[in-house]
Amino acid sequence: MKKSILDFRLDELTQIVEPKFRAKQIYQWIYQKYVENFDEMKNIPKSLREELEQKYLLYPIKIINIEVSKDGSKKYLFQTEDGYTMETVLIPMKEQVEDDDGKIVKESKYTICVSSQVGCKIGCAFCLTAKGGFQRDLTPGEIVAQVLLLKKENNISANRRVNIVYMGMGEPLDNLDNVVQAIKIFNEQDGLSIGMRRQTISTSGLSTQIKRLGKMNLGVLLAISLHAVDDQLRETLMPINKAYNIESVIDAVKAFPIDQRKRVMFEYLVMKNLNDDITSAKKLVKLLHGIKAKVNLIYFNPYPNSPFQRPLDEDMERFKQYLNEHGVICTIRQSKGLDISAACGQLKEKKLNEFSR
Ligand code: SAH
Ligand code: SF4
């Protein structure tokens, strides 16, 4: 498979092209002017454009389907060069900002939920992605292209900031090298210029990899998919807990460098009559003691034949209230894009048979 030009950080591209200053120009054409092909890079000499065209792909993935949800989120199905499919979700949110005259106006803010692998090896019992098994890691360029193409397709101007959450298909820390490369490419000033603090890695809790990521000191935010407060239950929901139990995850989180003003997010998928009781809430408060944490409660989103049920609203509220009253910041995740099953982590399925290999 041909390498994509999106696989390269700016310093790497600088090593590849002559003269070196061309690298910056190429970066700007791609990430700020959203060109469709190398030929559109007007201030690049024709010989260099042809050389790039010969050696590299611009976009290593293409859009094959789009679903729009009532709340405005959009789910994109992408296909890779070798025929695999994966998904990305664009979630618009209205934000109140001051304009130049100090007037409060509403501005769209975007969060993009990206995939890091085709499928996933972790095999969580509640997750649709897990059902399809694991196909392969995504390359840095395939991760970068998800965001670039969504910005381009939705005419989101280059200087408009977006947040990235690695909560689509796959376990990002199981593809750490490629994810870290993508993080750095997203962060490039002459590229998409997405700050480290606007990128959140969500993990099922690969403690060793959390430590590795922490040592890199990138400044990215961390989200832990906890979902259960005792090892016995967590093992049945998430087999990874046999290798990395709750204590090891908490230890890894404590060693993770986090910005003074930021918190580690703990995702807690709530399933009816399973982990929605106050005893669990109590244990959760204890577990998070000493960590700058915030908890995000997620409604389990049922799918055909799923073994779990959506929790009751009042149980969610009660759980949240207990946490808040005991000093733990807790929010309930709005299920954006539910009608197109764009709840992160349970993408793909519907179109799977039509397009996928
Ligand atoms: N592998 C990583 C990131 C992708 S999953 C991780 O597990 O953290 C992102 C989120 O989607 C996880 O918090 C996961 O619990 C959630 N998710 C998976 N299946 C879900 C379902 N059926 N309903 C609601 N959320 C789900
Ligand atoms: Fe993989 Fe995350 Fe789904 Fe678990 S929840 S199977 S880690 S994608």
Residue nearest to atom 3 of ligand 2 (CA): 127
Q: Which of 129, 344, 347, 349 to mutate for ligand 1's pocket (most ligand atoms within 8 Å of CB)?
A: 344
Locate 355 and state its tokens. 């397009």
pTM of the model: 0.93
Element (H, E) at 214: helix 207-216
Nearest to 333 by CA among 258, 237, 265: 265
Q: Decide: 226 in ligand 2 pocket, CB within 6 A.
A: no
Kindly give the pairing relationship between strand 74-80 and strand 221-225. Answer: unpaired
Asked whether the domain spanning 59-94+104-356 has the same topology as the one spanning 1-58, the reply is no
What would the pLDDT profile of 264-298 be if each residue is shown by its tens digit? 999 999 999 999 999 999 999 999 999 999 999 99
Residue nearest to atom 14 of ligand 1 (CA): 345
Residue where the block lists tokens 């046999």: 242
| Strand boundaries in 99-214, DSSP class E | 104-113, 117-119, 134-137, 162-166, 199-203
pLDDT at site 72: 85
Q: Decide: 203 in ligand 1 pocket, CB within 6 A.
A: yes
Q: Which of 116, 275, 298 to mutate for ligand 1's pocket (most ligand atoms within 8 Å of CB)?
A: 298
Q: Which of 269, 275, 333, 338 to mutate for ligand 1's pocket (most ligand atoms within 8 Å of CB)?
A: 269
What would the pLDDT profile of 139-172 be if each residue is shown by its tens digit? 999 999 999 999 999 999 998 989 999 999 999 9
pLDDT at 356 over 60: no
Q: Decide: 191 in ligand 2 pocket, CB within 6 A.
A: no
Which atom of ligand 2 is found nearest the CA of 127? 3
Locate 109 and state its tokens. 């803010």
Distance in angstroms (rounded) separating the CA atoms of residues 339 and 357:
26
Residues taking part in catalysis? 87, 344
Q: Decide: 204 in ligand 2 pocket, CB within 6 A.
A: yes
Q: Decide: 268 in ligand 1 pocket, CB within 6 A.
A: no
pLDDT at 100 over 60: yes
- The CATH code for residues 59-94+104-356 is 3.20.20.70
Distance in angstroms (rounded) separating the CA atoms of residues 101 and 220:
33
Q: Which whole-number Å values give the CA distances from 220 to 105, 114, 212, in the listed order? A: 29, 15, 13
Ligand nearest to the CA of 172: 1
Sequence spans of domains, the chain: 1-58, 59-94+104-356
Which atom of ligand 2 is found nearest the CA of 130? 6
Residues 6+ apart with CB under 8 A from 266: 223, 224, 226, 284, 288, 293, 294, 295, 296
pLDDT at 129 over 70: yes
CATH 1.10.150.530 fits 1-58, yes or no: yes
pLDDT at site 339: 61
Ligand nearest to the CA of 167: 1
Q: Decide: 171 in ligand 1 pocket, CB within 6 A.
A: yes
**What's the number of CA atoms in the CB half-sphere (13 Å) around residue 264?**
25
Q: Measure the CA dihedral 61/62/65/69, to 10°.
A: 70
Distance 149 CA to ligand 2 centre (A): 24
pLDDT at site 311: 95
Nearest to 213 by CA among 170, 175, 267, 265: 175
